[in-house]
Amino acid sequence: MGNGTVHLAKIGEIPFELHRPLPVGEVVGVIVKHSAGKWYVSFQVETSVNPLEKTGRAVGIDLGLKSYTVDTDGHCFENPRYLWKSEKRTKKLQRNLSRKKKGEQE
């Protein structure tokens, strides 16, 4: 693996774009996929795990409908409601589609 290229056996050097840095460790495997006309490379990296030091604290989490989560420290995280946010656009697209005749362009 060099400057933006990966060497694959029987294929040779292939350029790639790294979207995030690889973790420090030994590359133990590479998965190459072809999907929708694009090639994707996934690197399997073996790293050492550094466990966090124990604090002796416990946190309870409540999952709800109004607030997505609330923990025992009082932190409240709101529900992102992705479906509700996209409903307006979906309704508009459905109205436009229902007005069209079968086989009609645009």
Residues 37 and 65 grouped into a single domain: no
What lies within 8 Å, CB to CB, of 27 at 6+ separation is 1, 43, 44, 45
Residue 55 lies in a domain: no
Residue 53 lies in a domain: no
What lies within 8 Å, CB to CB, of 52 at 6+ separation is none
Residues 37 and 69 grouped into a single domain: no
* Domains in the chain, number: 2
- Tokens 């946190």 belong to which residue? 59
Task: Tell me the pLDDT tens digit for each residue of 28-84.
Answer: 988 888 888 777 888 899 988 889 999 988 889 888 877 888 888 888 888 777 787
CA distance 66 to 28: 45
Residue 13: domain span? 5-46
Residue 54 lies in a domain: no
pTM for the full model?
A: 0.43
Residues 65 and 40 grouped into a single domain: no
Task: Tell me the pLDDT tens digit for each residue of 88-104.
Answer: 889 999 998 898 888 77
- Tokens 């932190």 belong to which residue? 75
